[in-house]
Amino acid sequence: GEDVEQSLFLSVREGDSSVINCTYTDSSSTYLYWYKQEPGAGLQLLTYIFSNMDMKQDQRLTVLLNKKDKHLSLRIADTQTGDSAIYFCAETPRGSGYALNFGKGTSLLVTP
Amino acid sequence: DGGITQSPKYLFRKEGQNVTLSCEQNLNHDAMYWYRQDPGQGLRLIYYSQIVNDFQKGDIAEGYSVSREKKESFPLTVTSAQKNPTAFYLCASSMKGGTGELFFGEGSRLTVL
């Protein structure tokens, strides 16, 4: 399938905000998702946004959606060392049942 | 507790051997999936199944086989035809409708020596 694009690495200092960006491919995706993966583990859903929304906030997480540009971002406020992980953006493209199409993931490193 | 269980967590095999990775869920989900993860490659879909006794190929099905004889189980066989089988394999499941969220197992790391 077509690629969901993400930058591969991001490094921030503890206490700063992190912004992870994603460009998705299918304008018909109903939901868009952010998943987190810790080393050697499976993926856990962090948050999702319905396609008719522009923004969703959940505690330290803010998701922004720009449907015109097919751009999704995840902002983590007051980033902590425990936030160091790989973050995946995902969409639901047509023709794959309910399977999600994932980006390559952004490795977030939080330094003290 | 409900969830997805993958086994084994780590598996070592010699080249040319078939291996089967187990995936069991007790979430009563209809759909199940297998993804492969390689460093810098993200997740790539191998096979998926939306209902018992039916499954479809994903983007990288060559060298893999699956079965879906029970709703709870979706085992993946990595055959000797898979040219580069060393990878981290992730199983997931989802319910029909809702938000489309996938629930993932903890993964199985296969190393072929």
- For residues B55 and A28, the model is more confident at B55
Contact criterion met (CB < 8 Å) for A42 and B101? no
Position A84 scores a pLDDT of 97
Average pLDDT for A94-105 = 80
For chain A, first and last CA: distance in Å?
A: 39
pLDDT of residue B1: 67
Model pLDDT for residues A23-52, shown as the tens digit of each residue: 998 878 788 999 999 998 999 999 999 888
Q: Which pLDDT does position A92 carry in this prediction? A: 83
Given A43, A99, A102, which is nearest B48 (Cβ)?
A99
Neighbour-count burial of B98, counting CB atoms closer than 10 A to its CB (0-12 exposed, 13-18 middle, 19+ buried): exposed
Does B53 score more than 60 pLDDT? yes
C-alpha B37/C-alpha B57 separation (Å) is 17
Residue contact B101–A33, C-beta within 8 A: yes
